Amino acid sequence: MKAAFDLAVVGGGPAGAAAGLGAARAGLTVALFEPQAAPIEKPCGEGILPAGVAALRELGLGDLLLRGQPLERIGYVLASGRELEIPFAVAGCALERGTLSAALDAALAAEARVTRIPRRVRTESTRPGFRLRCGDESWSARTLIAADGLQGEAAHWLRRERTAARRYGLRARAEARGTLARVEVHLGRHSEVYLTPLAGGRINVAVLRDEPRGDARGSEAWLAAALAEHPRAAAALGAWVTPPEARALERARPRRVAHEGAFLAGDAAGGVDPVLGCGVAIALVTGLAAARAARAVLTHGSGAPERSYARCVRRETRLRRIVARALTALGAHPRLQEVVAAALTLWPGAATGLAARVAGG
Ligand SMILES: Cc1cc2nc3c(=O)[nH]c(=O)nc-3n(C[C@H](O)[C@H](O)[C@H](O)COP(=O)(O)OP(=O)(O)OC[C@H]3O[C@@H](n4cnc5c(N)ncnc54)[C@H](O)[C@@H]3O)c2cc1C
């Protein structure tokens, strides 16, 4: 058995890195388990909502934002070709995942209280505390944050059984043909295509859709089918820079997100469909909140910190889940898209008010 830590964090994505940084700066000793070496690449639309930008500033990473592209508005392109453009009250940022991961990793490396352990671990509750195992090695910790993503298994007693996903996401990067000055979401019957302008004249292309059927199996075929459905999106793209990579987008929501010193953060806490581009923001915000809650458990004991953390996760996810569901449902109903667009044009305050609540910051 290796040294005991105040906190074990499983996963070094945005949620785990934010949790590790927040906890170490609050005085906790942290073991952070992540098998992949930084910079970690992961399929993602690479747009960070204003709430995530605020969290990066709180982590002291404001300079990192200068390496991305400010995101000041989002455009929805409906099946009819009609456009709906919604400004953000506060700018978000488009930042490549590798750049974000490298910056978070450098910040973690600068924290003397963080021990990074390159292992994929299993977790168990030892009441009090937790044990983490990998082969013959084991570590112990007084509190636990599972930030191991949508398909993770850490703190499995808080989660539900894995079931087959019905919705999938894919992303690739391409050269931009012209200038893309906003995030653009193209809504369609079979897929949504999400274009994010990146620094250096590139565009991140994310395709979100229900389980591909028939011929559209395999990432290449699936990307081609989505771009055939959305010719305006395809017209914005030049040569491919990175190949398409796909991921399942859903998993049953956990039984609970916090209990007796164990917390689920980021996608591990449930995830919201990426059609809203809010996953990284939620990961950073809940990672920081879980670190505060773990510290409160060590100082005051279990109970109130877990309840307060569960409220935070609800605040971050509830409205976004409803809006994401509505948006993906609209994709299949072009007539309803027009009705909603007409209503929002008549009442623009509703669109910007809702966007501000979804974007946070
Ligand atoms: C196609 C697509 C497009 C998207 N577009 C956007 C977008 O535009 N904007 C946005 O904000 N979000 C977007 N998202 C969502 C976003 O990528 C996720 O919400 C975000 O990565 C969640 O971060 P996380 O830290 O919770 O999990 P992850 O980033 O998944 O990190 C989990 C980490 O845990 C590690 N891990 C897993 N198991 C173990 C274990 N047993 N032991 C140790 N480590 C382990 C993994 O190696 C991984 O590094 C998109 C997602 C997809 C698939």
Question: Looking at ligand 1, which residue's alpha carbon is closest to its atom 3?
Answer: 44
Residue at token pair 């859903």: 250
CATH of the domain at 289: 3.50.50.60
Residue at token pair 């204003």: 50
Q: Which of 235, 282, 295, 245 is nearest to 9 (CA)?
A: 295
> In ligand 1, which atom is closest to the CA atom of 194?
8
Residue 247, ligand 1, Cβ within 6 A: yes
Predicted confidence (pLDDT) per residue in 80-131, tens digit: 999 999 899 999 999 999 999 999 999 999 999 999 999 999 999 999 999 9
* Percent of the chain surpassing pLDDT 90: 81
Residue 33, ligand 1, Cβ within 6 A: yes
Question: Do 155 and 123 contact (CB within 8 A), yes or no?
Answer: yes
Q: Is residue 240 part of a domain?
A: no
Predicted confidence (pLDDT) per residue in 234-275, tens digit: 999 999 999 999 988 888 899 999 999 999 999 999 989 999
Question: Looking at ligand 1, which residue's alpha carbon is closest to its atom 8?
Answer: 45
Q: Is residue 74 part of a domain?
A: yes
User: What gap in Å lies between CA 331 and CA 275, rounded to an integer?
Assistant: 11
Q: Is residue 200 part of a domain?
A: no
Q: What is the pLDDT of residue 351?
A: 86
Q: Is residue 245 part of a domain?
A: no
pTM of the complete model beyond 0.85: yes
User: What gap in Å lies between CA 349 and CA 342, rounded to an integer?
Assistant: 13
Q: Is residue 223 part of a domain?
A: no
φ and ψ of 236, to 5 deg: -80, -10
Tell me how many domains the chain contains.
1
Whether the per-residue pLDDT at 68 is higher than 90: the answer is yes
The CA 287 to ligand 1 mean position distance, Å, reads: 12
Q: Is residue 91 part of a domain?
A: yes
The CA 347 to ligand 1 mean position distance, Å, reads: 36
Site to substitute for ligand 1 among 115, 144, 148, 219, most atoms within 8 A of C-beta: 148
Domain that holds residue 75: 4-163+251-359
Whether the per-residue pLDDT at 74 is higher than 70: the answer is yes
> How many other β-carbons are positioned within 10 Å of the β-carbon of residue 113?
16
> In ligand 1, which atom is closest to the CA atom of 120?
42
Q: Is residue 195 part of a domain?
A: no
> In this predicted model, which residue has the larger pLDDT, 28 or 209?
28
pLDDT band for 348, please (50, 70, 90 cuts). confident
Residue 223, ligand 1, Cβ within 6 A: no
Q: Which of 206, 188, 330 is nearest to 274 (CA)?
A: 206
Site to substitute for ligand 1 among 280, 286, 288, 316, most atoms within 8 A of C-beta: 280
Q: Is residue 110 part of a domain?
A: yes
Whether the per-residue pLDDT at 216 is higher than 80: the answer is no
User: What gap in Å lies between CA 36 and CA 285, rounded to an integer?
Assistant: 22
Mean pLDDT across the chain = 94
Whether the per-residue pLDDT at 214 is higher than 90: the answer is no
